[in-house]
């Protein structure tokens, strides 16, 4: 059964029972969201199937549906307004007040946590490999070590945990960074790179889109946790989002969204196919 009272009302009610809020600053983000009925979400579309732009120009994806679920739990007719951002300055844009929360397939790391606060994880993933078939042949048991050789070029997206993993695990091969994950995948498609390091869900889908040119090594060689990010000190919003993430999973909604975006994938017909 779905709760009759939105989670925000429950949280605020419990807060009221314990006395007045410690400060106006603590509730300012939630107050503004409720007053304007707009939840501003920072996103960097292009990370399938978490956030991407379909053929009609709409932003779709797993994270988009999660954001809409969050807005539904706010109640009061709150809607989501997606704010596009380049990846490198996305935390700076959050701190500048351009949006309320980052929900864009972001891995929480100690380095990023110096600049923002993270919620509990809403998705677990790891780094995997997209490999050029003309340069390497698929075989059971392939690992990172099999590709870390002189002359091998490893593509990845600049400023991501994919880049961190590539530089950590590939000490002999050459690491080549690109502005987007699509650009990195196209380097592999075209044979300008031997392989790509990136999050497992993206690699799995990208390999399906170009099976004649690439194959995937999907056994993750890292473990990472995707989380939402809020401004440092915005503890009330962070704590409330943690309640929403718990409810998202406990209600079965997360499982349903996973089936849609990662298993059945009806959205494939709505996005442009890659070209090299």
Query: Max alpha carbon distance in the chain (Å)?
Result: 67
Residue 4 has pLDDT above 70, yes or no: no
Average pLDDT, the chain: 91
Looking at 194, 217, 240, the residue that finishes a domain is 217
Model confidence at 219: pLDDT above 60: yes
pLDDT confidence band for 185 (50 / 70 / 90)? very high
Q: Does 114 map to a domain?
A: yes
Is the model's pTM score more than 0.85?
no
Question: Mind listing the pLDDT tens digit for each residue in 232-259?
Answer: 999 999 999 999 999 999 999 999 999 9
Number of domains in the chain: 2
* Domain-located, residue 276: no
Instruction: Assess whether pLDDT exceeds 80 at residue 23.
Output: no
Angle at which helices 7-17 and 235-250 pack, to 10 degrees? 130
Rounded CA separation 86/42 (Å):
10
Please list, in sequence order, all residues whose beta carbon lies within 8 angstroms of the beta carbon of residue 190, skipping any fewer than 6 positions away.
276
CATH number at residue 261: 3.40.190.10
């Amino acid at each position: 059964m779905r709760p009759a009272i939105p989670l925000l009302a429950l949280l605020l009610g419990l807060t009221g029972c314990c006395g007045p809020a410690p400060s106006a600053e603590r509730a300012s983000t939630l107050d503004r969201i409720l007053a304007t009925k707009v939840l501003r979400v920072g996103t960097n579309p292009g990370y399938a199937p978490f956030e991407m732009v379909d053929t009609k120009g709409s932003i779709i994806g797993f994270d988009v549906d999660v954001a809409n679920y969050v807005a539904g739990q706010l109640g009061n007719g709150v809607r989501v307004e997606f704010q596009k951002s380049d990846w490198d300055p996305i935390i700076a844009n959050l701190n500048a007040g351009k949006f309320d929360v980052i929900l864009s397939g972001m891995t929480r790391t100690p380095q990023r946590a110096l600049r923002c606060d993270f919620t509990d994880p809403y998705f677990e993933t790891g780094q995997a490999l997209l490999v050029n078939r003309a340069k390497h042949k698929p075989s059971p048991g392939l690992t990172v070590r099999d590709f870390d050789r002189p002359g091998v070029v490893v593509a990845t997206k600049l400023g991501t945990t994919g880049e961190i993993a590539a530089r950590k695990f590939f000490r002999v091969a050459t690491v080549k960074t690109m502005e987007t994950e699509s650009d990195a995948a196209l380097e592999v498609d075209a044979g300008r790179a031997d392989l790509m390091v990136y999050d497992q869900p993206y690699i799995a889908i990208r390999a399906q889109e170009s099976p004649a040119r690439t194959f995937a090594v999907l056994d993750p060689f890292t473990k990472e946790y995707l989380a939402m990010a809020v401004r440092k000190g915005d503890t009330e919003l962070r704590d409330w989002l943690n309640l929403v993430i718990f409810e998202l999973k406990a209600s079965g909604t997360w499982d349903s969204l996973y089936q849609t975006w990662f298993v059945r994938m009806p959205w494939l017909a709505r996005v442009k196919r890659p070209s090299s």
